[in-house]
Amino acid sequence: MAPTAENPVETDLLVIGAGPTGLFATYYAGFRGMSVAVVDSLPELGGQITAMYPEKQILDVAGFPTVKGRELVEGLVEQAGTAEPTYLLSRTASTLVEDADGVTVGLDDGTEVRAKAVLITAGIGKFSPRPLPVGDDWLGRGLEFFVPSFQPYAGKDVVIVGGGDSAFDWALHLEPVAQSVTLVHRRDAFRAHARTVEAVRASRVEIVTKAEVSAIRGNGTVESVEITVDGEVTTRPAQAIVAALGFIADLGPIQQWGIEVQKRHVVVDSSMRTNLARVFAAGDITEYPGKVRLIAVGFGEAATAINNAAVVIDPSAHVFPGHSSEGS
């Protein structure tokens, strides 16, 4: 029988967000003996990594000197599976009502989830890419916002627009595959990690700064771009453009739940608890003094949140679970 408002999903913990932090939290909740349901607005597990960076090499996960995004997600999904979670994908958590015994979360398809505690691991919330001003009508015809696979760029002249981590990561990974890679940025300073910038500078990628892509030309698909630098316009061949200009993030309905929010992030204390007694948060969505937004940090926050939620779910439980390496 499909879950509805009349036939709700019953669970100890509801995890909102199925990215790396949410998947690890799901596993860890199972480790602590909780039943778990997971909701995510995307149709697949893995969050932003699955949607945008499956081929990206991730360098800040303990135990992996380097790991591809999709491989990390595969491992996390397998690990989370040990908790036997109920996955509610392609659905958005719309409403939240907290009472003395638990939390009721309504989803946008009419499903209700009744949980004893909620953990929000929604990353940056719903996100949409910032558009390239001259990119209207070219999306899917040579212009893309993400690079989920490198092979389609083999042998092509690629122009990447942006100066952040995504732009430089993709430039570095496409350089061995493409015929040429040109990175265009409107400033001569970059937001990307210094190590990646140096690696791109040492490659055959051409970096054009204080510049913008001012026009796109082609017959049906992209064939060339015009780049304007200090008023001078040059035309160069391009069969592919990647607009890596960042994202517009939206917490969506979460902002209406009575949770304290600061600059589009959920405020938590040292136990990862929000201002609502049964609602916790972990990962990039959280805000507290000294917050660092890394996947590795999200994993630790997930464990902290689950251990503290355990006492809310079962008052006879202990925050500290004992070491995972200890025998029974």
- The CA distance from 1 to 5, in Å, is 12
**What domain range includes position 144?**
131-243
Q: Are residues 239 and 257 in the same domain?
A: no
Indicate if 121 and 60 belong to the same structural domain: yes
35 and 143 housed in the same domain: no
Q: Are residues 271 and 232 in the same domain?
A: no
Task: Decide if pLDDT at 98 tops 80.
Answer: yes
Geometric angle at alpha carbon 97, from 91 and 98, rounded to 5°: 125
The reported pLDDT for the residue numbered 271 is: 97
Band of pLDDT at residue 241, cut at 50, 70 and 90: very high
Q: Based on the domain organization, do 155 and 233 belong to the same domain?
A: yes
Residues 195-240 pLDDT 10s: 999 999 999 999 999 999 999 999 999 999 999 998 899 999 999 9
Q: Are residues 253 and 123 in the same domain?
A: yes
- Please check whether residue 31 is in contact with residue 25, taking contact to mean a CB–CB distance below 8 angstroms: no
On whether both 232 and 287 belong to a single domain, the answer is: no
259 vs 123, higher pLDDT: 259
Residue 326 lies in a domain: no
115 and 148 co-located in one domain: no
Please indicate, yes or no, whether residues 146 and 101 belong to a single structural domain of this protein.
no
> How many domains does the structure of the chain reveal?
2
Whether residue 208 lies inside any domain: the answer is: yes
Q: What's the pLDDT at 34?
A: 97
Mind spelling out the 3-state secondary structure of 212-271?
EEEEEEECCCEEEEEEEECCEEEEEECCEEEECCCEEEECHHHHHCCCCEECCEEECCCC
Flag whether pLDDT at 328 surpasses 50. Answer: no
pLDDT tens-digit profile of 314-323?
998 888 886 6
Average of pLDDT values for 299-312?
97
Annotated ligand binding at 101? The verdict is no
For the cut 70, the answer to whether the pLDDT of residue 96 exceeds it is yes
- pTM for the full model? 0.76
127 in a labelled binding site: yes
154 with 62, same domain?
no
Q: What is the pLDDT of residue 327?
A: 52
Residue 179 is classified by DSSP as S
Portion of the chain with pLDDT greater than 90, in percent: 73
Say which CATH number the domain at 62 has: 3.50.50.60
53 annotated ligand-binding residue: yes
* Last residue within a domain, chosen from 243, 262, 288: 243
Of 206, 223, 243, the last residue of a domain is: 243
| Residue 262 annotated as part of some ligand binding site | no
Last residue of a domain, one of 199, 217, 243: 243
Is 220 within the bounds of a domain? yes
| 93 labelled binding-site residue | yes
What pLDDT does 147 receive? 85
- pLDDT the model gives residue 171: 95
Do the annotations mark residue 250 as ligand-binding?
no
